[in-house]
Amino acid sequence: MPINRDRSAQHKVYIPSNARENQYILAKFELTDALLARFSDLVESGTEFPYNDFYHHLAAVFHDICDKHEIDSGQFVANDKFIRVRYSPEKITAQTDQQIVFLYSPKYHSGHKSYINGKRRVRKLKLLFLANGSEIRHNSAKFHTKVDAAMQELIQTLELDPGTVRLCDHQHLTYDLFAKEKGVEGTQAHKLRSIVNRFSVHDVHLDANQLDSQTYAVVSMHLNKRMRSLVTIDKTAEKPYEALYTYIKEAFINSSKANGVDQGIMIANDLVPVVRSKTDTVISENGELQTIDFNENKPEYGFTCHYSRRKLVDTVQFVFVAAKDDQTSYGYGKFLNQVHDAMRSFANKMEYQTKTENLSVRIHQHIGLNL
């Protein structure tokens, strides 16, 4: 018995007590000719906003179903923008040409709203469910069940074909790696079990063979004046910041390898990293996004770095994607511990001021399935 406890302890990761929890579920489906035909009387061709009434009608149906299933925050999005959700003490929704970003606190912010571009026929309609409450991770299975029931009713109401709705459950834990050094007391012990395994404890059973799953960590470092002074920057040079990014890259790769981490991605080009489960591992730029397609079943090991030699960025991000082999019988705790060790080693090389400088870690766990 003691041996088993020791082995279990090796797979526990200790996260600061003030870690922030998020869960959001995104449902999306194509706007088909058949769906438009069912509501043809709401489409006003020849006007500036031909789809406005149609989108608002669907939004009203969606929000009524949310209320029926006691879902406090449902966002209807018909503008073909990429959706991101982050924690924030203030409720803010920001939009760019390509993205719509929802910033909110699960404890304090709720409400239904629609984001519509009535001028055009969108490719996909997107329904965003934001979790509310104080114990998001503990209640994640319950929230998933409520959303699934709401979507089943919406599918019947809109007469959508089976298997055409994609449902993605996203869960985050966000914290400063050096919270303890800043005086934060207490920790949370996590084995970082997969979503499927956590849900099964609450009698919510999902078939792992019928869904995609991902676990990955994104570590964000603010590139402040002190860090920039670690190397000499010649702003008159053709590529003035190459030496700085090379210094960071080498520290990142060497620290990772020394702590048993065999793959990672450095991003310093002001793009937003988006990790997707795909058949092939490919990293590419897509407008404002740095897309990272990763096959957790057949990962390609190694390190890649994407940075702008002529541009000084505000934030450098490091992405670590867990492969299938990183999931032990306990969970992903060992994987995250290795990431922690690698980034602490990296911080030492960067002469980090742990009491005043943050190294933000966000651990992502996602599942996707078709309804």
Residue at which a domain ends, from 146, 175, 204? 175
Q: Can you read off the two tokens belonging to residue 132?
A: 């509310």
- Are both 30 and 116 inside the same structural domain? yes
**139 and 240 housed in the same domain:** no
Supply the DSSP symbol for 310.
Answer: T
Give the residue from 125, 155, 175 where a domain finishes.
Answer: 175
256 lies in some domain: yes
Q: CA 295, CA 322: separation in Å to the nearest integer?
A: 10
The one-letter amino acid code at 99 reads Q
Both 109 and 253 in one domain: the answer is no
What pLDDT, in 10s, does the model give residues 190-242?
Answer: 999 999 999 999 999 998 888 888 999 999 999 999 999 999 988 888 889 99
The dihedral sign for the CA sequence 235, 236, 237, 238: positive
> Which residue type occupies 169?
D
Residue 156 lies in a domain: yes
Query: What is the C-alpha to C-alpha distance for residues 348 and 251, in angstroms, rounded to an integer?
Result: 9
Q: Are residues 226 and 364 in the same domain?
A: yes
Residue 4: the pLDDT is 44
Among candidates 15, 8, 361, 337, which has minimal Cα distance to 189? 15
Whether 321 is in a domain gets the answer yes
Residue-wise pLDDT for 127-155, tens only, equals 999 999 989 999 999 999 999 999 999 99
Euclidean distance between CA atoms 223 and 311, whole angstroms? 12
**Whole-Å CA distances, 345 to 165, 176, 352, 361, 365:** 44, 15, 10, 15, 25
Helix then strand then coil, in percent of the chain rounded to 5, is 30, 35, 40
Q: Is residue 231 part of a domain?
A: yes
For the segment 234-258, the average pLDDT, to the nearest whole number, is: 94
Average pLDDT over residues 175-203: 94
Using CA atoms, how far residue 273 sits from 148, 159, 317, in Å, is: 28, 35, 8
| Residue 9 in tokens | 């302890």
Looking at the structure, tell me whether residues 352 and 283 fall in a common domain. yes
Shared domain for 158 and 281, answered yes or no, is no
pLDDT digits (tens, 9 = 90+) for 277-335: 777 778 888 899 998 888 787 777 789 999 988 899 999 999 999 988 898 888 999 99
d(CA 262, CA 258): 9
| pLDDT at residue 300, as a whole number | 75
Q: Could you read off the pLDDT of 57-72 as tens digits, one per residue? A: 999 999 999 999 999 9
pLDDT of residue 9: 58
Q: How many helices (H) does the chain have, and how many strands (E)?
A: 8, 18
* Whether residue 365 sits in one domain with residue 219: yes
Asked if residue 1 has pLDDT above 80, the reply is: no
Predicted confidence at residue 352, as pLDDT, reads: 95
In this predicted structure, the answer to whether residue 260 has a pLDDT above a threshold of 60 is: yes
pLDDT higher than threshold 60 for residue 6: no
Domain count, the chain: 2
Percentage of the chain exceeding pLDDT 70? 98
pLDDT (average), residues 41-50: 91
Alpha carbon distance 80, 193 (integer Å)? 33
Q: Quote the domain boundaries for residue 146.
A: 19-175
Q: Which helix (H) or strand (E) holds 340?
A: helix 333-349
